Structure 1
Amino acid sequence: MITASSRSTAPFSRRTVYQRKDRRWEAAGYILAPGNTRRRIRVYGTTRKEALAKLTEKIATSNRGIPVPSAQGSVAAYLTYWLENVAVYHLRENTHTRYTAVARLYLIPGLGRKKLAKLTAKDVRTWLNQFRTTCQCCTRDIDARRDQPRCCATGQCCHKLLSPLTLTYIHSVLKSALEHAVREEEIPRNVARNVRTGTPRPRRFEPLTADEARKFLAAADGHRLQPLFELALHTGLRKAELLGLRWENLDFNAGTAAIRRTLQRTSAGGLTTLPAKTRASERRIALPTRCVHSLKHHHEQQQREAAGAAWQYSGHVFTTTLGRPIDPTNLTRAFTTLLRKAGLRRIRFQDLRHSTATMLLEQGVELVVIKELLGHAHIGVTATVYAHVRLRLQRDAIDTLSTALGSPEDTKTARSDGNEPPSCAALVR
């Protein structure tokens, strides 16, 4: 056995690094524990350098005054530590806010008192199953805090259950926290991974048809943000990507736009420009000629507005009349007004993106091209979201083939009635 130790005058700064009989390297040292105490921890690695690096990282965190919960501590203590000292540096602000809310509303009340080391898959499964049958008004005392109770407090439970999507999201937050505990070698395995919640149905969306899209664009004609709505329908850009677009990202000569940033409202910083969420979201897209002309006209109009004394230059393509970034909520409000003006049903702004993808698929555009245009990380995401569209196109293609393989008499009859479906690869002008 090879032993190497580094000692100092302070008893709690002593570190020990040695190779075990199983050929792994073990490093041990003292870190700050809850209750302003010290405890000795052990970490392992395949090399001496790896084990020492793990120990150094834990000690550095401890020296910043951050107590690291032990496996004997509660799940609540570890969740609090993970959210405040680990996840906050790796998640976008809005995502971290949602994770914190999930921990406060569901994880800590349900599993917080259990010991981290003693948490089992059965505990997690039982806790999740309670959400499937328990009214949230009753569980979280929501009805008791209302001015006029209408559920449990009146003896008429509304049976407000969590949706499968929410249940899956809660489960994923727990898995992420426990996965980090495994990496820190606080627990041997992630018990939440052994629990299956099932695959929830994707959210239904109602994309615009080609006729409805034309009506919407007609209603937007003359609107100050007409170029934004045209760009949304022609390219499928997300709301945050449209609002985060800057003039420097546009190349009118090449007819392209570089998607690099998003604009979002965060609880801490207000309207904030952030990098694109994923590497796939950072992309360069081609702009239709119609959008290039609209954007050039919009640029000229913005330069006239910038002549005013109250103008505040932000560099964004789409701004308020004073040059400031547009709040996403205000854009949604303007979008809803245009839908009402066009006499169309109310949809989400996100459904413009779905409308673009659906119409492209119906035009016979290849799935990989749509995936790159939308900025999906994997083509499987595109295929899953628009599976119903592809199924309809498959049915049209099969019907067309069936007609072609029929008898000559049937083929003549099918062609003469004028109802044969168009080829799924044919462009609709």
Structure 2
Amino acid sequence: MSYLKKVDAKNKQGYAWKCTAEGPRDPITGKRRQITRRALTKKEAQAKVDEAIEEMIKQDKRGIGSDVQDMTVRQLFDQWFNLVMKHRLKETTLSSYMNTMQRRVIPVMGDVRVSALNAMFLQKFINDLTEEELSPRYIEYVSTVLYGALEAARKWNVIDVNPLSDVERPRPRKVIYPTWSRDEAQQCLSTALLTNLRMYTIISTAFKTGARRGEVLSLKWSDIDFENKEINIERSLVYDKKGFRFNTPKTKSSVRKIKIGDSLISDLKRWKAHQNELKMIHRRIFVEHDLVFTTETGKPIYPRTMTFMFNQVIKEAGVQKIRFHDLRHTHATLCLESGMSLKEVQDRLGHGNIQTTGNVYAHVTDNMKEKSTQLFEDYISKI
């Protein structure tokens, strides 16, 4: 039963009537839920209440409690990160997701109800990011994370459809990463060998295995099988607010064995001998972790410190500036150009599927196709 009351005509909203009615009890908590709506006439106020009750019943049938109906974008991300993504992503990736949302999404729509989002609002949001002259790749990253959260809201019946589905978003772009030629790699290694043996061996290891930075810095001597010429990748070094610690690699497929050649075997043995000398010099303070690459006192190397030293070597060598991670791309590119199969490169890099490898190095495989075609032509010309 509804209760109608005339409202003071001097109210700022200009409403003349208020209608209050008992809605259905909350199906989860059993609590009473009163609904109040205001309008210019009795009929309009009653209609608004009836519409609100109908919507409430609809939401109840879909299994949505009153607390979920009013869920904000901020609350959605909290739930999504805690219930889903925390169990699917590595800590560093999760932290990147959270930082991006806190910086780009929450300030704009954090207090907006998820159910109130629509394609027009989200299209403007994406357009605003573009007008800030942010890179298309970064905008794509923001929209992908936001889409994932809204997709979770859809699965949880908070919304019927994902409103970002109808928004024009940046299309995935193929990125060709900068890499070194064989001559540039050799020039950098030669320079490092003369100035910093530790940095030389780090660069050599990354360049000749394609291992990621955290994987290289977490290597232990027990991971290196000199006899069978293999390196076991089974952990990654993480450094954040909690300090240094070892974590599992990026994905399950990242746990792998990489075959290595005589040149890297020789480099690692030379470094091991030098490291033993350092242990003797600093024996009173050296902390033994069995790590291949450490500070002079045996502690793990701070990733940014290593990146700084890498940039110094690049400057001294006078070669093209690349990121340390681009040594991984250089390794893969040269492997493919040398004739190694895409499947073999996939295994060395630890990619979960061959499509990832093919997409990243499509420009290389195109060159390989041309060479293969020429080889075929040369072969059949002899018939």
Bin the TM-score by the shorter chain.
0.7 to 0.9
Distance 2:175 2:67 in 1: 38
2:307 is matched with: 332
2:104 is matched with: 106
Does 1:297 pair with 2:264?
A: no
Give, in angstroms, the shift of residue 168 of structure 1: 0.9
Does 1:287 pair with 2:260?
A: yes
Letter in 2 for 1:211: D
1:318 to 293, 297, 300: 293
Is the 2:139–2:170 contact (alpha carbons within 8 Å) kept by the matching residues of 1?
Answer: no
Give, in angstroms, the shift of residue 44 of structure 1: 7.8
2:203 is matched with: 229
Distance 2:61 2:322 in 1: 53
The Cα offsets for residues 283-326 of structure 1, whole Å up to 9 and x where unpaired, read as 11112122223223322332332232110122211111110001
2:230 is matched with: 256
Does 1:354 pair with 2:326?
A: no
Distance 1:207 1:379 in 2: 21
Residues 17-416 of structure 1 mapped to structure 2, 5 A cutoff: 29-30=28-29, 69-83=67-81, 87-132=85-130, 134-135=131-132, 161-222=133-194, 223-225=196-198, 226-266=200-240, 268-307=241-280, 308-402=283-377
Distance 1:254 1:69 in 2: 60
Give, in angstroms, the shift of residue 404 of structure 1: 6.0
Return closer, same or farther for 1:403/1:129 CA change in 2, 3 Å cut-off: same
Give, in angstroms, the shift of residue 349 of structure 1: 1.0
Q: Greater RCO between the two (CA within 8 Å, min separation 6)?
A: 2
Return closer, same or farther for 1:315/1:187 CA change in 2, 3 Å cut-off: farther
The Cα offsets for residues 56-105 of structure 1, whole Å up to 9 and x where unpaired, read as xx9xxxxxxxxx95132322332344446654454333223322222222
Distance 1:370 1:31 in 2: 59
Distance 1:402 1:253 in 2: 42
Is the 1:28–1:43 contact (alpha carbons within 8 Å) kept by the matching residues of 2?
Answer: no
Distance 1:398 1:104 in 2: 51
- Structure 2 length normalisation: TM-score? 0.76
Letter in 2 for 1:265: Y
Give, in angstroms, the shift of residue 210 of structure 1: 1.2
Is the 2:285–2:297 contact (alpha carbons within 8 Å) kept by the matching residues of 1?
Answer: yes
Distance 2:67 2:310 in 1: 48
Letter in 1 for 2:234: R
Give, in angstroms, the shift of residue 43 of structure 1: 8.8
Return closer, same or farther for 1:31/1:337 CA change in 2, 3 Å cut-off: farther
The Cα offsets for residues 356-415 of structure 1, whole Å up to 9 and x where unpaired, read as 111111111100000110111111111111111122232333345556667x9xx9xxxx
- Structure 1 length normalisation: TM-score? 0.69
What fraction of aligned residue pairs are identical, expressed as a percent? Answer: 28
Letter in 2 for 1:387: A
Distance 2:355 2:157 in 1: 33
Letter in 2 for 1:178: L
Distance 1:217 1:204 in 2: 23
Gaps of 5+ in 2: 1-25, 32-56
Distance 1:118 1:336 in 2: 48
Give, in angstroms, the shift of residue 260 of structure 1: 0.9
Distance 2:271 2:227 in 1: 16
Cα RMSD (Å) of the superposition? 3.1
Distance 1:328 1:42 in 2: 51
Gaps of 5+ in 1: 1-26, 33-39, 46-54, 59-67, 136-160, 412-429
The Cα offsets for residues 251-310 of structure 1, whole Å up to 9 and x where unpaired, read as 2222211111111222x2122321111011111111212222322332233233223211
Is the 2:176–2:360 contact (alpha carbons within 8 Å) kept by the matching residues of 1?
Answer: no
Is the 1:276–1:282 contact (alpha carbons within 8 Å) kept by the matching residues of 2?
Answer: yes
Return closer, same or farther for 1:31/1:237 CA change in 2, 3 Å cut-off: farther
2:6 is matched with: none
Is the 1:257–1:285 contact (alpha carbons within 8 Å) kept by the matching residues of 2?
Answer: yes
Return closer, same or farther for 1:272/1:196 CA change in 2, 3 Å cut-off: farther
Is the 1:264–1:273 contact (alpha carbons within 8 Å) kept by the matching residues of 2?
Answer: yes
Secondary structure in 1 matching 2:297: coil
